[in-house]
Amino acid sequence: MERFICLLLTLCFLHFSNTAYGASQETSQEVTLNDFIKLAEEGSEDAQYLIGYSVLFDQEVSGEKYSDRTQALEWLDISIEANPFNGWFVGSELTNRDKPVLAQIYLQKAVNAGYTKAFSNLAHLYLGDGHSKAGNLLAKRYFEAAASYGNAYAYVRIGHIYQNGWGVEQDLAKAEQYFQKAISQGETAGYTALGEMKEKYFSNPDYKEILDLYLKDAQNGGSTAIFGIKRLYKKHNQHVGLTKEAVLFWHYVDQFNSVINFGRPVSYLDKKTKLANNFSSDQLSKIKKRAETLVKGFSN
């Protein structure tokens, strides 16, 4: 995340130095904090966001700190109204820094400005065993709002609420209904959620059925599903009959996905290919080599 923030600030710096001040490729021109202040005063939402963000997170702009916190946060609010994504980004970063009170404020600003994806982020601030019944019920309402705007994954999380009895009576049947609803809307994480529930809560579960559920999500890049496949191999392989080669295949698929597009799922399988119980050593070698090369390149 710090690398991304630095990149964001750098891009803003380059944008203003190359456009607002006419820097050419042949000459370099330093842009100072005062330059950004002038742009912010003239109504530049990008400059307002940059200064507001820097003050909120105690960072410098071009080697200097802006001292007027009140003005900076006013500019940040203006930038959020113009681009609600800014509120979501700030709220998400505050969540990552374990500042839930401030995170709630900025995520709510994002929602108020029209960025409805922030409903799910708000929900996660109140969800789980460590929160009160009222908090979990609030999370449920936020997820319901997210779902109403087309976020199918929110149905998975509502299913988890019923599965775990967070703020409601535990109801596995209702949890399954929500997982299935997510699946019906194209959210393959619903398969993994359903498989995990069957694996954890059902007596005498059908492990082959559970494996099939995990595979449906894994083929779409689901990391949790791949973890489930590896878990079945370790604990219940007498029921599913996975080979070591098959499990290693999925392990390297997961590695591949984790280093591409900052973790966004990327299917490593041809859509026509289905998991077989055995892979040739040549296939496995190629997958392993590619994954290890990507991991090495990313870490450097």
Query: pTM above the 0.85 mark?
Result: no
pLDDT band at 243 (very low <50, low <70, confident <90, very high): confident
Tell me 19's DSSP state: I
138-160 pLDDT, tens digit per residue, is 999 999 999 999 999 999 999 99
How many whole angstroms separate alpha carbon 157 and alpha carbon 144? 10
Q: What share of the chain is helix, strand, coil (3-state, %, to 5)?
A: 70, 0, 30
Burial 265-281 (b: 16+ CB within 10 A, else e): beebeeeeeebeeebee
**Does residue 2 come out as left (phi exceeding 0), alpha (psi in the -120 to 50 range) or beta?**
alpha
How many whole angstroms separate alpha carbon 22 and alpha carbon 28? 10
The encoded tokens of residue 134 equal: 């009222």
More confident residue, 48 or 3: 48
